[in-house]
Amino acid sequence: MPELSHEQFFDWLRSRQPSQSLTQDMVDGSKELLAYLTPEALITILTKINSQPPANSKTALSKEPLSRADITKAANALGVEPAKLKAVIDVECPNHGFDDEGRPVILFEPHIFYKYLTRVNIITKRDQLQALFPDIVNRTWDRSLYKVRPSYQKLQVAEVLDWDAAHMACSWGRGQVMGFNYESLGYPSLRAFVAAMHESEAAQLDAMCRYIKVNGLVDELKRGDWAGFALGYNGEGYAENRYDIKLANAYQAAKRQGW
């Protein structure tokens, strides 16, 4: 079977655009990537990130949901009131730890992917992909990039460049713990951490509790120091997102629910 030519690739790419035309940035970025990938390989990647999930995708694998006993046990191990741990869970990931396809809920962070590609010296491809798809690789954090395409589509493309960097750039499950924390949390490898995130919501809660302990946030949680906890758990941007207020409100709601 003859290989696809670059001209045929650009004809295909043009056909995928609503305007049936290409911008100069798209042409330049594609040419740079074609220096490292075959047209067929690049088409595979572009198809993945531009495809949409099936309309009826709710044929998911079911996962064991987090139980009251799980939360109470974890809170007791931390030495904190269960309602306070419940508040953190409800703010971080209020619905479920798994999506409709049975995958852990993730949030892909383009600026973290940029950081870890840089650390492993994947500089040229990092810059090429950023030129084409800044929602997958971006030097700085940008809230608007979250809405460009689903996180799992981003992860599919990112792991082609570097599996470790891609999975470290995601926050995972009920605790939304970033993958790059795996070593400090005591997991033997990144793959062991990711496997645990696929296991159950209880395993995801365990990662959250490890993070709380390792980062010295147990005392803040015990005291109900929501601003101090928010700073340690979510960083300096917590106030802008009213994270401390959300935690305080979630705690009061948990108390009303009998926690």
Spatial CB neighbours of 242, under 8 Å, sequence gap ≥ 6: none
pLDDT given for residue 62 in this prediction: 52
pLDDT given for residue 2 in this prediction: 59
Q: Per residue in 86-102, is it b (16+ CB within 10 Å) or e — as a string?
A: bbbbbbbbeebbbbeee
- Name the burial class of residue 132, with classes exposed (0-12), middle (13-18) and buried (19+) by CB atoms within 10 angstroms of its CB: buried
Q: Could you give the CA distance from residue 172 to residue 162 in angstroms, rounded to a whole number?
A: 18
Q: Could you give the CA distance from residue 169 to residue 77 in angstroms, rounded to a whole number?
A: 29
Residue of 201, 166, 168 lying closest to 187 (CA atoms): 168
- CA 222 to each of CA 83, 86, 88, 116, 249: distance values in angstroms, whole numbers, following the listed order: 11, 13, 12, 34, 16
Q: Could you give the CA distance from residue 216 to residue 232 in angstroms, rounded to a whole number?
A: 8
Q: Could you give the CA distance from residue 222 to residue 42 in angstroms, rounded to a whole number?
A: 51
One-letter amino acid of 88: V
pLDDT given for residue 54 in this prediction: 43
Tokens matching residue 56: 């009826």
Residue of 66, 104, 86 lying closest to 196 (CA atoms): 104
Q: Could you give the CA distance from residue 132 to residue 137 in angstroms, rounded to a whole number?
A: 9
Determine how many CB atoms are found less than 10 A away from the CB of residue 112: 20
Residue of 190, 185, 236 lying closest to 211 (CA atoms): 185
**This prediction's pTM:** 0.75
pLDDT given for residue 60 in this prediction: 40
Taking the chain (259 residues) in runs of 10, the rounded mean pLDDT of each run is 76 78 79 83 78 43 79 96 95 88 94 96 92 93 89 93 96 95 97 95 96 96 95 86 93 94
Question: Which ranges of 38-186 would DSSP assign to H, the alpha helix?
Answer: 39-50, 68-78, 82-92, 110-119, 123-132, 151-161, 163-168
pLDDT given for residue 20 in this prediction: 74
Degrees (nearest 5) of the Cα angle 115, 189, 123?
Answer: 25
Residue of 38, 41, 32 lying closest to 126 (CA atoms): 32
pLDDT given for residue 14 in this prediction: 80
Q: Could you give the CA distance from residue 175 to residue 86 in angstroms, rounded to a whole number?
A: 11
